[in-house]
Amino acid sequence: MVKILVFVESRDNKIKNAGIEAASKAYSVSKELGAEAEALLIGSSVTSIANELGAYGISKAFVIEDSRLEKYSTTAYAKAIAEAVKARGADILFLSATAMGKDVAPRVAARLEAGLAVDCTNLKIENGEIIATRPVYAGKAYIDLKINSPVKIFSLRPNVFKPQKSEKSNVSVEKLDIAFDDKDFSSQVKEVVVSSEKLDVSEADIVVSGGRGLKGPEHFYLVEDLAKVLGGAAGASRAIVDAGWRPHGDQVGQTGKTVSPKLYIACGISGAIQHLAGMSSSKCIVAINKDKDAPIFQVADYGIVGDVFEILPALTEELKKVMAN
């Protein structure tokens, strides 16, 4: 029987949303393939949290526990995951295309001489094989691909595969014994620095971005005020990041972050092709721009052709009123 192993990501011994999504998808794919799905958790103390996966169809979980695994180590986690695949005789490995997943997956692939499809946004089964769809060129195009190596690895883009609750099963949890030596921890996280209280554009449900139309960094508060009312994050076009108005981490676009929030509001952004690549998969797009021919209106669901200096304060005020009700 084909076996799927899903690495369920946790941090500080708490399962991450992306981990639940991957576990749930592993279960649904296993049903479709007539396969078995097993979960893998790694950390210093993860046995007790494995039970949460029962609500998503997982009935068997394996844990690799070691005090040195409390903090993420690329090299040690790569070894742990690859050894678990071997120990369980898994044919397919799922993980999440998060910062951790993106970092560790290729190393696991190299260890297992396996093909890896990263950042998948859809998986379908054809003739018993998984065909993955994933964005390329920052979302300007998509490819369908399959993996031809004996072990196949798929990393799933977060926030795409909605977890499906299933009849709750009891999770049997077993420890996998993997022997680590110091060399396995050749890279080690020394410290995690959380950046203020600021919400990251790639994680926000609502993103309000500003561009050149704001005329100067001193006007960026217009974008931040609107983002604040909506409980969203403030993003920026490449032009104003290059001009030094905003930090690079806020940049949305092909050489910045790809975002797909439920609402994206582009303020004074013309919509260069690099920018559109990073945000056009947003569920609802609003554009506010003086130039009615700006390319941003091509991808916008709603637009106001007008001056950001007038529209933004009015929109912020209107939303304050509406949200208060």
Partner 1 sequence: MKIAICISQVPDTTTKVKIGADGKSIDPAGVTYIINPYDEFAVEAALQLKEKQGGETIALIVGKEVSKEVMRKAYAMGIEKGILIKTDLELDSYAVARNLADVLNEINPDIIICGKQSIDYDDHQVGSLVAEMLGIPSISVVVGLTVEGGKVSAEREIEGGKEVVEAALPVVIATQRGLNNPRYPNLKGIMQAKSKPIEERQPTYTDNKTEILSMSLPKPKAKGKIVGTDVSAVPELVKMLREEAKVI
Residues in region 8-67 near partner 1 by CB under 8 A: none
- Cα(179)–Cα(182) distance, integer angstroms: 10
CB of 260 to partner 1, least distance (A): 11
CB of 113 to partner 1, least distance (A): 8
Positions in 210-229 near partner 1 (CB under 8 A): none
CB of 66 to partner 1, least distance (A): 18
Number of residues that bind partner 1 (CB under 8 A): 94
By the rule CB under 8 A, 69 interacts with partner 1: no
Residue closer to partner 1 (CB basis): 165 or 321: 321
By the rule CB under 8 A, 86 interacts with partner 1: no
Please report, for residues 74, 85, 100, 189, 304, the alpha-carbon distance to residue 115 in angstroms, rounded to integers and kept in the order given: 19, 14, 18, 27, 46
Candidates 125, 136, 216, 291: give the one binding partner 1 (CB under 8 A): 136
Please work out, in degrees rounded to the nearest 5, the angle formed at the alpha carbon of residue 68 by the alpha carbons of 76 and 49.
95
CB of 292 to partner 1, least distance (A): 8
- Cα(162)–Cα(168) distance, integer angstroms: 17
Q: Which two tokens stand for residue 251?
A: 């940049």
Please report, for residues 38, 94, 210, 271, 312, the alpha-carbon distance to residue 280 in angstroms, rounded to integers and kept in the order given: 35, 27, 15, 10, 21
Residue closer to partner 1 (CB basis): 57 or 139: 139
By the rule CB under 8 A, 99 interacts with partner 1: yes
Q: Which range of residues in 41-49, 52-60, 220-228, 305-313 is near partner 1 by CB under 8 A? A: 305-313
290 SS3 class: coil
By the rule CB under 8 A, 114 interacts with partner 1: yes
- Cα(44)–Cα(12) distance, integer angstroms: 8
By the rule CB under 8 A, 286 interacts with partner 1: yes
C-alpha 79, offset from chain centre: 23
233, 320 contact by CB (below 8 A): no
Candidates 207, 214, 304, 308: give the one binding partner 1 (CB under 8 A): 304
CB of 70 to partner 1, least distance (A): 13
Q: Which range of residues in 24-32, 54-62, 208-216, 266-274 is near partner 1 by CB under 8 A? A: 266-274
By the rule CB under 8 A, 260 interacts with partner 1: no
Enumerate the β-bridge partners of residue 4: 37, 92
Other C-beta atoms within 10 Å of 106: how many? 14
21 SS3 class: helix
CB of 239 to partner 1, least distance (A): 13
By the rule CB under 8 A, 324 interacts with partner 1: no
By the rule CB under 8 A, 269 interacts with partner 1: no
